[in-house]
Structures are given as C-alpha cells and as structure tokens.
Amino acid sequence: MAYAFSLLTDDLATLRYRSNGIQRAPAIVRTRGHRLEGIWHAGSPMGMILTSMQGIYLCVPRNMVQAVGFYNTLLKSDDPGIVVECLNGYRLKEKCQPIC
C-alpha cells in the first residue's frame, strides 16, 4: 500500500472529479490485513489508510462471507475500492448456508 499510495490517492481517487464525471475508474485493490493480536496491534497501518484514502471505498470485512458481499457490490460500482481481508479468513472454513 505504501508504494502505491500516491497513485491511489492522486490518480485513482480523483479521476472522476478531475474529468467532471466523464471518466470512471472501477478498480478493486485487494490486500490483506492482520489479526490485531498481541503486542503488534498498535502497529497497524489502518489508521493511515482510513484517514488518507479519501475518494476510495474502504471495505474491511470481518469474515470471507462479508468479503464476497463487498466484492459483489464493488463489481457493480463505477468507483474504486480497497478490500482489506482478515488473515483469520484464510484459514477458517465458513459454514455453507443453503439458498432457499
């Protein structure tokens, strides 16, 4: 995120505003978060991301089921979004719920 920060905030987030709504940037940036456990919870870059990424939707799902909903919503949108996936979701299996 740190290497792409200026591209995300200067170019991607302001494209629609700078083009007066003519150009759109429907991009999804997928990254991983961390568990926020132990002594390292204060070292999270989430504070920087929350306060400085204006113009981009920031989605932080609590599990992979919510992540799927965020991805489906962002795919239908014309706006850029960042999805910060939780690390616990990579090793846990979600319960399958039948569709009625």
Encode pLDDT of 5-50 as tens digits: 888 888 888 888 889 989 988 999 998 876 656 566 666 677 777 7
Q: Is the pLDDT of residue 77 over 80?
A: yes
Q: Which CATH superfamily does the domain covering 5-89 fall into?
A: Thiamin diphosphate (ThDP)-binding fold, Pyr/PP domains (3.40.50.970)
Across the strands, what pairs with 30? 83
Q: Is the pLDDT of residue 69 over 90?
A: yes
Which helix (H) or strand (E) covers residue 60, if one does? none
Residues ≥6 apart with Cβ < 8 Å to 96:
none
Please name the residue that has the structure tokens 């429907």: 26
Taking Cα atoms as reference points, which of 62, 46, 39 lies closest to residue 1?
46
Give the count of beta carbons closer than 10 Å to the beta carbon of residue 83: 20
Task: Report pTM.
Answer: 0.78
Domain residue extents for the chain:
5-89
